[in-house]
């Protein structure tokens, strides 16, 4: 009897649970969620429900959960569905348990605090493991309902790509691939930033003409930042780029778009919000990087958004300041 491919999902939140459930429906895979939330583990194992994150959704009986990190020694594929700030502590604390041939797959969105910019690149630099990243237009609420869902697999080692292709074959998950691991990771952060900006625009005007004028400007600015920080031009047309940007910027399930809508309507202030949003935190980081690189006025949207999020800004001027930039003759 052929042995099953063993997959561990670290984190029993919305993304970890939805991805784990989608993969566990495939009989050839053995999928286990590793979670520190013992009540989540118990509800998955006893009732086939994640009572905290998906209380009304029945999970497949094939999906199991455990709080015991020692099980990591049994899994060659380990998806990291925990906050980016927790990833390196998790790896340091549990490195003695990892399978010698483990492949770590980053699902977290965020920037690294070191010179490598991205989480995946830092994992490559700081650990001996094979590293990949999954990024794409994916709402966990859709994935948990088994809707067709896409990710870009970013990995420097192209030999990993057929492994993931085989893993998701027959599931609702669809993949494209890129060796531009930096570009894949950067775009997963940038799309959150520009989703905030588009939320502001829609809240103020609700104009289709203006929405897609602004969307085009935002897409081009994302592309220019991607290239500026050594991502590849073509990566933006992968699921992690065009697809994820469209999903996050134009759909009201997006937390970052919702933040923009709240700002645009005047209902948001930093002092009364306890919600941690990747896009908001990343704006300041990118603006500092841009300033350090001395690129002048090229990135108008992100700079104006940074002023908005600083709290001292007349929001009515947001669109005006961006549209009044000096437009040059386009050169391709």
pLDDT per position as a tens digit, 259-287: 899 899 888 765 445 444 566 778 888 88
For the chain, strand residue ranges (E) read 5-10, 29-34, 64-66, 77-80, 103-106, 130-135, 149-154, 173-178
Between the alpha carbon of residue 329 and those of residues 198, 306, 332, the distances in Å are 25, 27, 10
Instruction: Name the pLDDT band for 315 (thresholds 50, 70, 90).
Output: confident
Q: What is the pLDDT of residue 271?
A: 45
pLDDT at 269: 63
Residue 328 or 127, more confident: 127
Domain 5-179 in CATH: superfamily?
NAD(P)-binding Rossmann-like Domain (3.40.50.720)
The whole-angstrom separation of Cα 195 and Cα 137 is 13
Report whether pLDDT(295) > 60.
no
How far is residue 260's CA from residue 280's CA, in Å, rounded to a whole number?
10
Supply the pTM of this predicted model. 0.92
Q: Averaged over 38-42, what is the pLDDT?
A: 97
CATH number of 183-323: 1.10.1040.10
Q: DSSP strand E in 24-83: where? A: 29-34, 64-66, 77-80
pLDDT at 327: 54
Q: Within 13 Å, how many C-alpha atoms sit on residue 161's CB side?
A: 15
Strand 103-106 relative to strand 29-34, pairing: unpaired
pLDDT > 70 fraction of the chain, expressed in percent and rounded: 91
Give the residue from 105, 91, 93 showing the smallest Cα distance to 9.
Answer: 105
pLDDT score at 72:
97
Domain residue ranges of the chain, discontinuous segments joined by +: 5-179, 183-323
pLDDT band for position 330 (cuts 50, 70, 90): low
d(CA 170, CA 236): 27
The strands making up 130-135's β-sheet, listed across from edge to edge, are 64-66, 29-34, 5-10, 77-80, 103-106, 130-135, 149-154, 173-178
Is 274 buried (19+), middle (13-18) or exposed (0-12) by CB count in 10 A? exposed
Helices and strands in the chain, H and E counts: 13, 8
């Amino acid at each position: 009897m052929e042995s099953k491919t063993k997959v561990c999902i670290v984190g029993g939140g919305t993304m970890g649970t939805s991805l784990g459930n989608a993969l566990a429906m495939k009989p050839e895979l053995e999928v286990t969620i590793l979670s520190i939330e013992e009540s989540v583990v118990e509800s998955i194992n006893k009732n086939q429900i994640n009572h905290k994150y998906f209380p009304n959704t029945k999970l497949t009986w094939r999906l199991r959960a455990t709080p015991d990190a020692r099980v990591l020694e049994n899994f060659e594929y380990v998806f990291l569905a925990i906050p980016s700030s927790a990833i390196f502590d998790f790896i340091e604390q549990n490195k003695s348990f990892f399978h010698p041939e483990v492949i770590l797959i980053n699902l977290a969105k965020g920037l690294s605090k070191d010179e490598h910019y991205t989480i995946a690149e830092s994992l490559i630099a700081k650990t001996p493991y094979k590293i990949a990243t999954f990024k794409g237009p994916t709402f966990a609420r859709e994935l948990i309902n088994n809707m067709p869902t896409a990710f870009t697999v970013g990995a420097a080692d192209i030999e990993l790509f057929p492994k993931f292709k085989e893993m998701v074959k027959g599931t609702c998950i669809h993949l494209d691939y890129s060796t531009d691991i930096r570009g894949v990771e950067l775009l997963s952060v940038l799309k959150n930033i520009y989703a905030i900006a588009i939320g502001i625009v829609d809240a103020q005007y609700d104009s289709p003409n203006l929405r897609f004028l602004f969307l085009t400007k935002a897409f081009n600015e994302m592309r220019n930042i991607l290239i500026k920080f050594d991502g590849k031009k073509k990566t933006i047309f992968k699921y992690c780029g065009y697809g994820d940007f469209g999903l996050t910027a134009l759909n009201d399930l997006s937390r970052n778009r919702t933040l923009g809508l709240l700002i645009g309507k005047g209902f948001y202030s930093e002092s009364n919000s306890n919600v941690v949003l990747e896009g908001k935190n990343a704006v300041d980081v990118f603006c500092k990087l841009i300033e350090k690189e001395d690129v002048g006025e090229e990135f108008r949207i992100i700079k104006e958004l940074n002023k908005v999020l600083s709290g001292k800004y007349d929001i009515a001027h947001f669109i005006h300041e961006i549209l009044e930039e000096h437009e040059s003759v386009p050169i391709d």
